Each structure stands twice: as structure tokens, then as C-alpha cells.
């Protein structure tokens, strides 16, 4: 928890998020129109999405399946009966004049998400509900000097609105929440969760209070489209509210907008209440009734999710919580890591984790490529670790071999052979180098004898250098100690 010092004491921020996640599905919630990102405006619009008179919505089963899977992944209650309602409001890019959403009876009820915080601790955030609803179209204000254009491609696309409880207490926790949500949805294959493409957006509810007091009045900052902006909006909004209250004012419940250029929030409209929308069950749609066996089958078929995978990596591979968390954040990374461990016979999983998150990620970032395009695949990295573990190459040489593998795409063994990089583990050969270095440096030998232990490290360095990094460091240490007495 991070408290903010004000003039009237310490303040705590209270945050709850409403996340809109676009469901991965070929077609929209109630029509057969396509949903591909980046299509030409108004090319993915059916008569239903354009709200032509007399058109009737037909529920897309895939959208329901995705919502249920997501609910299961959030450890949430699945409601076997739920109801679509009309939420009535006017907006130029909402041709129906209402959004079909769920209100009193959502498809998913309470659940829980576990946050992995940067200090290694975990925290649970409650999920209030998840419901299905239609997205609206998009107004384009920058296409013409005096007119606004409307693109209805998004109209009717399936959204899951995932509402958290007001359980978060810092911008950092909100970052961890969005990251974990994104990770879970990607594992499940229910949402791409690309905030920059708009497939995941969030409304940020913030209030402040002195610790221990009742909840304060919240504001809601709409449509924040990156984790960084969400954190900035929260910091700004909490400070604004504290200053307002300490200056004798009061927070009004309102809807605000975040300005990413200035890093501030601005009032947009006073808060609407649920009754303003005149919700009522959509007469064109029957209640959604799910078969318990169907839900159970979906549950059985869920992939191993990040929390379970992390626990397994810690238990089976002896990884620490931080490394395990980094490796499971994305499914592709976790699978890559496991493939490295499986193919590097006898290799130490902790060392494999270091190589994946260190040299391998470093090279991916430097070249700006994805795992699938990397010149070093899991089997090749495993092969390198095998040589390292068997003592065929030293740790120092291994990094050079990795770089050569990355550049050439060759196996570790081939490079070691080609360049003659095999570690020298032959006692006679090492002894010769040790003797030489000792003979060349009588001054340092004196220092060591008069009690300066640090010189030993210096000697190891000299010997490694003389062997071009190929001497077995363990043996070098042993021999040195013996010789220096």
C-alpha cells in the first residue's frame, strides 16, 4: 500500500477497474459480420449492426463460450441463466439508440485475481462480475474539417466488461492487475488484450480516504488505453481529489477523461445513474440458459493458467517467485522455457531460467523479434546448457558461444568444435598455465603470503585470461590454493 502525505495526514487511494475486453471471435455478438482489426471503415457491418428497421439479433455461441471460459479463468461463479438488457442512450455512433448489455443478471458473478507485486508479494483483488455487451461504432473527427465520419466496423463487436471490486490501493497494484488480467485472457485465448489496438480498455474509478475511514466519493476516468496511462491517471486523480478535499471542497461523482499529453484528467460529464439508462430485458432475445455439463467440459479443457504454472515452476524447478513470474507471464515464454529444460539433458532449471530471461531475452529485445523468429530455438539453447553443465565449456565461453549461435543459427556443439572452445579440464595443461602465471608475478605471491586473500581472485583472472577463458575455473582455484600453499 502506498500512502500519500497530505496536510491533514496520510491518504489512501481506493481503486476499482472496469475493463472492456474484446472477445476473440470471428463474428459479432449478434450478427455474422467479421471482426478483423484494421479493416477499411464500414466494410464489416451487417444490417443488424447498422440497426436497420426490423433486423433481429441472433446470439453468437462462440461469444458466450469465451465469456464462460474467462469467468472460469477468473475463478468466478458462472451463472447458468443470464439476461440481455437494453441500455438506452443516444450517441451518433450507436445507431440502435441502445446498447445490448447485461445488467441485473450477468453471465459471470464474483471471482478473484491474484496480483504478483514487484516486491514478490501477492495480493487478491475481487471480481464483482463479468457481463457481455456490444461495442459501439467509432466517430472519426479528423477526416474532414467540418464533418464527423462514422465507422460502424466495431458496432456490435462482443465485449466482456470485467468489473473489479474497489480492492486496489496504488497505481502499482493497478498495473499488476492489468498485467495479470492480460496474461490470463491471452492464456485462455479469449482476448488479444492489446491495449494499443483497443482490444482492451479500462475505466478507472478512484476515490481517496484517510486509512480506516469509509469509502470516499469516486470519479470514473473513461477509456484509458494503456497501463502507463492508467497509472498516471490514478496518481493525478488521487492528488487532485486530496487537494480538493483539503482545500475545503468535495469530490463530485463524475465521469472524467484522461489527457495523455498533459498527464491530467478533465471533467467530461456528471455521473449518470443506472436508472437514467432505462434498462429493460431485450424483448428480441431469450434469457441465456447454459447447460451445467457444457460448463464443466469447458472447465476441464482450460489450459494451465499462469498462477498454477508459476506454482509448478517453483515446486518442480526450484525457481524463485520472481523468475517464475517472469517466465509464466506469457504462455509462449513459459513453453519455451520448459522446452529448453527438457532438451538440455541434466541442465539446471535455474540456470536455464537465467539464460532465457538474460541472454535470450536480451537478444530478442536488441533485434526486436519474437520468440518464434529467434535464430536460437529451445533445442539449441538446451544444447548449449548441456555443454555448460557437463563442463565441456566454461560459463564465460558459453556467452560467446550463444552470440555465435545467434549470428549463425548453428548448434552449440558445432561452434565449440569449430572454434576450439572446449574447456581445459586436463590437470597437466592447467597446472602449466598456473605455474607460469605464478612465476611471472612474484610480487603478488608475496602479497598473498602476507595475508591478502583478495590477490587470489586476481590470479584466477590472469589464469583465465592466459587460457583464453577455457580453463576450468574450479580446477584453477584448487590448483592455485595448492601451489600458493
CA distance 108 to 70: 9
User: Which strand (E) or helix (H) includes residue 479?
Assistant: helix 473-484
Smallest gap from residue 179 Cβ to ligand ADP (A): 17
Say whether 14 sits in a helix, a strand or coil. Answer: strand
Smallest gap from residue 230 Cβ to ligand ADP (A): 13
Q: Give me the residues paired with residue 254 across strands.
A: 270
Task: Choose which of 3, 4, 14, 290 interacts with ligand ADP (CB under 6 A).
Answer: 14
Task: Choose which of 31, 66, 207, 467 interacts with ligand ADP (CB under 6 A).
Answer: 207
The full length of the chain comes to 485
Of residues 18 and 65, the one with the C-beta less far from Mg ion: 18
Smallest gap from residue 59 Cβ to Mg ion (A): 23
- Spatial contact of 224 and 201, defined as CB atoms under 8 Å apart: yes
Q: Which phi and psi (to 5°) does residue 179 adopt? A: -65, -45
Alpha-helix residue ranges (DSSP H) falling in 78-209: 171-188
Of residues 165 and 410, the one with the C-beta less far from ligand ADP: 165
Task: Choose which of 11, 12, 15, 237 interacts with ligand ADP (CB under 6 A).
Answer: 15
Smallest gap from residue 169 Cβ to ligand ADP (A): 10
When asked if residue 394 is in the footprint of ligand ADP (CB under 6 A), the reply is no
Residue 76: partners with Cβ closer than 8 Å, 6 or more residues away: 108, 109, 110, 111, 112, 127, 130
When asked if residue 111 is in the footprint of ligand ADP (CB under 6 A), the reply is no
Smallest gap from residue 220 Cβ to Mg ion (A): 6
When asked if residue 131 is in the footprint of ligand ADP (CB under 6 A), the reply is no
When asked if residue 218 is in the footprint of ligand ADP (CB under 6 A), the reply is yes
Smallest gap from residue 75 Cβ to ligand ADP (A): 17
Residue 415, Cα to own-chain centre: how many angstroms?
36
Q: How big, in percent rounded to 5, are the helix, strand and coil portions of the chain?
A: 40, 20, 40
* Residue 166 binding target from ligand ADP, Mg ion, none, CB below 5 to 8 Å by type: ligand ADP
3-state SS track over 399-432: HHHHHHHHHHCCCHHHHHHHHCCCCECCHHHHHH
Give the orientation angle of helix 61-73 with respect to helix 292-300, to 10 degrees: 60
* Residue 168 binding target from Mg ion, ligand ADP, none, CB below 5 to 8 Å by type: none
Smallest gap from residue 118 Cβ to Mg ion (A): 28
Task: Choose which of 215, 267, 342, 379 interacts with ligand ADP (CB under 6 A).
Answer: 215
Judged by CB under 6 A, the stretch of 201-209, 298-306, 400-408, 469-477 that binds ligand ADP is 201-209
When asked if residue 17 is in the footprint of ligand ADP (CB under 6 A), the reply is yes
When asked if residue 18 is in the footprint of ligand ADP (CB under 6 A), the reply is yes
Of residues 108 and 206, the one with the C-beta less far from ligand ADP: 206
Instruction: Sort residue 236 into left (φ over 0), alpha (ψ -120 to 50) or beta.
Output: alpha
When asked if residue 335 is in the footprint of ligand ADP (CB under 6 A), the reply is no
Q: Which residue is nearest to Mg ion (CB)?
A: 18
Q: Which phi and psi (to 5°) does residue 310 adopt? A: -60, -45
- Spatial contact of 199 and 192, defined as CB atoms under 8 Å apart: yes
Residues 163-182 that bind ligand ADP (CB under 6 A): 163-166
Residues in the interface with ligand ADP (CB under 6 A) total: 16
User: Which strand (E) or helix (H) includes residue 20?
Assistant: strand 9-22
When asked if residue 108 is in the footprint of ligand ADP (CB under 6 A), the reply is no
Neighbours of 146 (CB within 10 A): 4
Give the residue carrying C-alpha cell 612465476: 439
Judged by CB under 6 A, the stretch of 93-101, 108-116, 215-223, 440-448 that binds ligand ADP is 215-223
3-state SS track over 50-103: CCCCCCCCCCCHHHHHHHHHHHHHCCCCECCEECEEEEECCCCCCCCCEEEEEC
Spell out where 152-295 has E strands: 158-164, 200-209, 219-224, 254-259, 264-270, 280-281, 288-289
147's grid cell? 464533418
* Residue 16 binding target from ligand ADP, Mg ion, none, CB below 5 to 8 Å by type: ligand ADP
- Closest among 360, 281, 282, 354 to 48, alpha carbons compared: 282
Per-residue x/- mask for Mg ion, residues 15 to 54, rule CB under 5 A? ---x------------------------------------
* Residue 221 binding target from Mg ion, ligand ADP, none, CB below 5 to 8 Å by type: none
Smallest gap from residue 130 Cβ to ligand ADP (A): 11
Of residues 134 and 205, the one with the C-beta less far from ligand ADP: 205
* Chain residues that interact with Mg ion, rule: CB under 5 A: 18
Interface positions with ligand ADP (CB under 6 A) = 14-18, 163-166, 205-207, 215-216, 218, 220
Amino acid at each position: 500500500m502506498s500512502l500519500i502525505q497530505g496536510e491533514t495526514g496520510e491518504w489512501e487511494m481506493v481503486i476499482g477497474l472496469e475493463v472492456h475486453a474484446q472477445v476473440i471471435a470471428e463474428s459479432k455478438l449478434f450478427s455474422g459480420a467479421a471482426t478483423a482489426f484494421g479493416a477499411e471503415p464500414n466494410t464489416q457491418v451487417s444490417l443488424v449492426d447498422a440497426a436497420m428497421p426490423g433486423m433481429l439479433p441472433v446470439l453468437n455461441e462462440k461469444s458466450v463460450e469465451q465469456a464462460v471460459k474467462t469467468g472460469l479463468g477468473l475463478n468466478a461463479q458462472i451463472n447458468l441463466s443470464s439476461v440481455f438488457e437494453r441500455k438506452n442512450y443516444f450517441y451518433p455512433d450507436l445507431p440502435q439508440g441502445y446498447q445490448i448489455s447485461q445488467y441485473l443478471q450477468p453471465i459471470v458473478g464474483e471471482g478473484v485475481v491474484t496480483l504478483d507485486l514487484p516486491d514478490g508479494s501477492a495480493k487478491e483483488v475481487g471480481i464483482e462480475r463479468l457481463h457481455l455487451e456490444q461495442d459501439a461504432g467509432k466517430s472519426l473527427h479528423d477526416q474532414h474539417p467540418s464533418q464527423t465520419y462514422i465507422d460502424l466496423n466495431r458496432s456490435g463487436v462482443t465485449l466482456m466488461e470485467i468489473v473489479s471490486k474497489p480492492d486496489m490501493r496504488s497505481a502499482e497494484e493497478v498495473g499488476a492487475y492489468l498485467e495479470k488480467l492480460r496474461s490470463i485472457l491471452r492464456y485462455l485465448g479469449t482476448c488479444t488484450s492489446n491495449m494499443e489496438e483497443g482490444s482492451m480498455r479500462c475505466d478507472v474509478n478512484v476515490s481517496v480516504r484517510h486509512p480506516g475511514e469509509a469509502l470516499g466519493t469516486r470519479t470514473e476516468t473513461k477509456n484509458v488505453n494503456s497501463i502507463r496511462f492508467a497509472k498516471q491517471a490514478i496518481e493525478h486523480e488521487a492528488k487532485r481529489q486530496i487537494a480538493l478535499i483539503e482545500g475545503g471542497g468535495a469530490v463530485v461523482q463524475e465521469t472524467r477523461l484522461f489527457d495523455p499529453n498533459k498527464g491530467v484528467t478533465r471533467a467530461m460529464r456528471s455521473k449518470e445513474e443506472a436508472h437514467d439508462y432505462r434498462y429493460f430485458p431485450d424483448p428480441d432475445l431469450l434469457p441465456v440458459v447454459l447447460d451445467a455439463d457444457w460448463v464443466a467440459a469447458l472447465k476441464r479443457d482450460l489450459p494451465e493458467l499462469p498462477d498454477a504454472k508459476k506454482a509448478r515452476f517453483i515446486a518442480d524447478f526450484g525457481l524463485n517467485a520472481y523468475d517464475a513470474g517472469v517466465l509464466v507471464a506469457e504462455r509462449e515464454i513459459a513453453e519455451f522455457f520448459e522446452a529448453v529444460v527438457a532438451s538440455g539433458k541434466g541442465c539446471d532449471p535455474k540456470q536455464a531460467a537465467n539464460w532465457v530471461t538474460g541472454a535470450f531475452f536480451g537478444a530478442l529485445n536488441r533485434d526486436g523479434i519474437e520468440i518464434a523468429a529467434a535464430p536460437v530455438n529451445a533445442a539449441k539453447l538446451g544444447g548449449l546448457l548441456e555443454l555448460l553443465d557437463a563442463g565441456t565449456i566454461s560459463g564465460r565461453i558459453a556467452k560467446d558461444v550463444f552470440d555465435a549461435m545467434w549470428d549463425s543459427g548453428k548448434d552449440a556443439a558445432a561452434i565449440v568444435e569449430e572454434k576450439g572452445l572446449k574447456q581445459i579440464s586436463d590437470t597437466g595443461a592447467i597446472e602449466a598455465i598456473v605455474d607460469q602465471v605464478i612465476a611471472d608475478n612474484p610480487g603478488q605471491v608475496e602479497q598473498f603470503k602476507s595475508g591478502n586473500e583478495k590477490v587470489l581472485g586476481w590470479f584466477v583472472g590472469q589464469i583465465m585470461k592466459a587460457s583464453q577463458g577455457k580453463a576450468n575455473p574450479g580446477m584453477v582455484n584448487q590448483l592455485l590454493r595448492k601451489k600458493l600453499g
